[in-house]
Chains A and B, each alone.
Chain A
Amino acid sequence: DAMVIQNPRYQVTQFGKPVTLSCSQTLNHNVMYWYQQKSSQAPKLLFHYYDKDFNNEADTPDNFQSRRPNTSFCFLDIRSPGLGDAAMYLCATSRDRDTQYFGPGTRLTVL
């Protein structure tokens, strides 16, 4: 089945230690998104890629970076995680501006 895959499902890191989260998709969608979702809150868009064009949300901290080496893969890099960055990170994809399909998420814990 075509899908959005996120690895790892659970990630533990230390305060200030860089961490990378991975997303891959078999849907061949040209748009990929990264969301941050804290407990009992709605997902918050961090940035998205339209093909190779990177689009950052105005309020996304500089601590968050992203890479998209090809159509299928997208990475979220957190350069110096703080305690406030502990959250669920959701990857989503879409074809152009159509419906977004979400992966299962990566739960990040910062110690």
Chain B
Amino acid sequence: AQSVTQPDIHITVSEGASLELRCNYSYGATPYLFWYVQSPGQGLQLLLKYFSGDTLVQGIKGFEAEFKRSQSSFNLRKPSVHWSDAAEYFCAVKLTSGTYKYIFGTGTRLKVLA
């Protein structure tokens, strides 16, 4: 069955430090890949997405993600974290055809130390 794994439930980084959030998926073909961010009590905001082409994707708020087919991974990165980045981050995949359904990872909660 298709699945998405975010192995880190919680991550704490200092403001200004770099960040990498991990996402691995299990699916026979390359799905559509997404990263969303959710601040407390808010909806999900799209950070970036990968459908095809260049495997390094730039998103909003200074985030980027790299698709690695060989590792079935789509890790999210930011070179310098800001206190306002503290939130929950969800990786999601969607099969490329025949469905509207997203499969979400369980999320990674990011804490930023001043």
Interface residues of A (CB under 8 A from B): 4, 6, 31, 33, 40-43, 45, 48, 50, 55, 88, 90, 92, 94, 97, 99-105, 107
Contacts and interface: CB of A to CB of B under 8 A. Distances in A.
B44 A107 contact: no
Nearest to A50: B100
B100 A94 contact: yes
B28 interface: no
Nearest to A94: B100
Contacts of B102: 45, 100
Given A43-B90, A102-B45, 18 more contacts: A4-B43, A40-B109, A42-B105, A42-B107, A43-B104, A50-B100, A90-B43, A92-B44, A94-B100, A97-B94, A97-B99, A97-B100, A99-B34, A99-B49, A100-B102, A102-B44, A102-B46, A105-B43
Interface residues of B, number: 21
B67 to A, nearest CB: 16
A41 B101 CA distance: 17
A71 to B, nearest CB: 16
B42 interface: yes
A12 to B, nearest CB: 15
Given A42-B90, A42-B107, A107-B41, A99 B100 contact: no
> Which 10 pairs show the lowest CB-CB distances between chains A and B?
A42-B104, A102-B43, A102-B44, A104-B43, A105-B43, A103-B43, A42-B106, A97-B100, A104-B42, A90-B43
Contacts of A92: 44
